[in-house]
Amino acid sequence: MKKISFIIPVYNAENFIERCLTNLLKYEGEDVEFIIINDGSTDSSDKIIEKYAKKDDRIIYINKENTGVSNSRNIGIKKASGEYIIFIDIDDYLEENSINKLIDLLNTNYADLYIMPYYLKKSENEEKIDYSIFYNKIYDTKENISKLILNFISYVDEEGNRIQNLMGSIWSKVFRLDIIKKYNIFMNENIEITEDTNFLIEYMAHCKNIKVIDYYFYHYTIENSKSLTTKYKEGLYEELEISLNNIVKILNKQNINFKNAILYRRFFNIHFSIINECKNNIGFKEKRNNILKILKRIQNNKLEVKGLSKKEKTIKFFIERKCLIPLLILYYNLKV
């Protein structure tokens, strides 16, 4: 059995493949496998991957029609034979020699899930995203694991205190394949937004031991093509709500209740969806109607959530009263 299966979806990534694979393939051990799934790329990604696959028999190359990143990851999970799984986005990359250190870590520690900080790279600038407040804490009870799950859902806790929201991604983490298969945990292929968080929370709900490790091995790069904050997405609000409702179902099955955190997440969904509509390249009247449709989803015209910041309270005030002009002025002044 392999120690680690690396699952790497690819779509039109000819400019990033070599950077991603070069560091991975420097590791010479046979206890890893690299499952690369080409999701119907229309550029030269296929040829580049084939070149690497011919040179290294640890690469399992799957070439398929375009069906989305979640489907690609699910195919990778089904194909994996490793004890552990690490997901990598092809336009990201790992720290040099990190596989050696990861294997040493997995051989000397035990956990169902390892969560690690990461490097965030925007253009030429790179910073460390630190999780230090979570280090050296024990997450081996349902209560403590539930508290950790909360940080992946919201910026506020049940009492309204501000908390550190953790990146709900599946990269920069290490999963056990046996837990994924035992509980039939796969990516939701019906959503494209926060599908990572859905998978992560469902997985965490079945963990008995989670460790937050102070080791930076993952470089997360933000390109315009991958950032939802830079472009308009049709149907964003509906998709965010489907995702959140799925999270609520997962929590309910485990008897975990985060009422205030879920209310905050719904507020955020509305807030983020209005920002999204501001980016929509349509006339003002149509834009206004789209925003009104979102606001009509608010039950009783109230967002009863504790712990909002001053700016969020201002946004909430206008949202509840459906005051579109102040909202649009506010969002545009924030340069969203």
pLDDT at 230 (0 to 100):
61
What's residue 228's pLDDT? Answer: 46
- The answer to whether the beta carbons of residues 217 and 95 sit under 8 Å apart is yes
Q: Determine the pLDDT at residue 84.
A: 98
Q: Confidence class of residue 332 from pLDDT cuts 50, 70 and 90?
A: low
Is pLDDT above 50 for 224? Answer: no
CA–CA gap between residue 99 and residue 178 (Å, rounded): 21
Distance from C-alpha of 43 to C-alpha of 21, rounded to nearest angstrom = 17
What whole-number distance in Å separates Cα of residue 114 and Cα of residue 78? 21
Task: Name the 3-class secondary structure at 5.
Answer: strand
Confidence of residue 227 (pLDDT cuts 50, 70, 90): very low
Instruction: Over range 19-35, report the average pLDDT.
Output: 95
Assess contact for 115 and 134: CB atoms under 8 A. yes
Q: Which amino acid is at 269?
A: N
Choice between 294 and 76, residue whose per-residue pLDDT is larger: 76
More confident site: 303 or 228: 303
| Selection from 270, 248, 274 nearest residue 261 by Cα | 248
Place of tokens 């999270």: 247
Percent of the chain with pLDDT over 70: 96
Amino acid (one-letter) located at 294: I
**Residue 330: pLDDT over 80:** no
Say if residue 185's pLDDT is above 80.
yes
Q: Which domains does the chain have, with CATH numbers?
A: 2-131+170-226 (3.90.550.10), 231-333 (no CATH)
Helix axes of 284-295 and 324-333: crossing angle, nearest 10 degrees: 110
